[in-house]
């Protein structure tokens, strides 16, 4: 089961947050960032995205601004869906600390791995970037690809960013 939950390491990626357009999915407010980072798996095209509640000044809102949801890309009409309770163990958020325009968060599957989201403003939308430590430094990532192992678990993770690809093998 540990390998299965390690898929959440993929969530340590980062990309720019994009504000939700008016009239979009009711999950999102006008200024919310609809995708801070996501995990792409080998199993199918569906993705787990992490969004953030933000205000008009592009500051994180509340004590727990980040939440996860599915982008169901395997559907004829792509749509968003909430995580199921049984998926919280792999993709759920364990803790969030909001301070000085950042959110430090950990995932339930990887409580020792800190992901830092920084809020910002750019070209009329709220933005943010997520960083995570890889090796001796912090890196910004665009997305993470998770190669699932058969029949269960994770073989490896590829963290893809503007400066390269980092592959992390997963221990059984």
Residues 154-168 have pLDDT tens digits of 888 777 777 778 787
pLDDT at 63: 96
Strand partners, 80: 71
Mean pLDDT of 41-56: 91
pLDDT at 47: 93
Cα distances from 137 to residues 24, 133, 134, in angstroms, run 37, 5, 6
Q: pTM of the predicted model, to two decimals?
A: 0.79
Number of domains in the chain: 1
Question: Per-residue pLDDT tens for 82-134?
Answer: 999 999 988 899 999 999 889 999 888 778 788 899 898 878 888 777 888 88
Give the residue numbers spanning the domain of 151. 2-169
The number of CA neighbours under 13 Å toward the Cβ of 128 is: 34
Mean pLDDT of 31-49: 88
Lowest mean pLDDT among 12-26, 28-42, 104-118: 12-26
Question: Is residue 3 very low, low, confident or very high in pLDDT (cuts 50, 70, 90)?
Answer: very low
- Say whether 41 sits in a helix, a strand or coil: strand
Token pair in block for residue 91: 């993709």
> Which helix (DSSP H) or strand (DSSP E) does residue 138 occupy?
strand 137-140
Q: Distance between CA atoms of 140 and 116, rounded to whole angstroms?
A: 10
Q: Which residue has the higher pLDDT, 144 or 52?
A: 52
């Amino acid at each position: 089961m540990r390998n299965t939950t390690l898929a959440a390491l993929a969530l340590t990626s980062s990309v720019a947050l994009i504000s939700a357009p008016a009239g979009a999915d009711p999950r999102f407010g006008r200024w919310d960032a609809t995708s801070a980072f996501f995990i792409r798996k080998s199993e199918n095209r569906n993705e787990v995205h992490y969004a953030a509640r933000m205000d008009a000044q592009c500051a994180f809102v509340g004590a727990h601004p980040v939440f996860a949801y599915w982008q169901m890309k395997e559907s004829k009409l792509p749509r968003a869906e909430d995580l199921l309770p049984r998926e919280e163990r792999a993709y759920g958020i364990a803790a969030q600390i909001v301070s000085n325009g950042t959110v430090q968060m950990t995932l339930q599957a990887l409580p020792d791995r800190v992901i830092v989201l920084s809020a910002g403003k750019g070209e009329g939308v709220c933005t943010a970037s997520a960083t995570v430590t890889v090796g001796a430094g912090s890196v910004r990532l665009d997305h993470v690809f998770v190669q699932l192992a058969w029949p269960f678990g994770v073989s490896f993770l590829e963290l893809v960013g503007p400066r390269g690809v980092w592959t992390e093998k997963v221990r059984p």
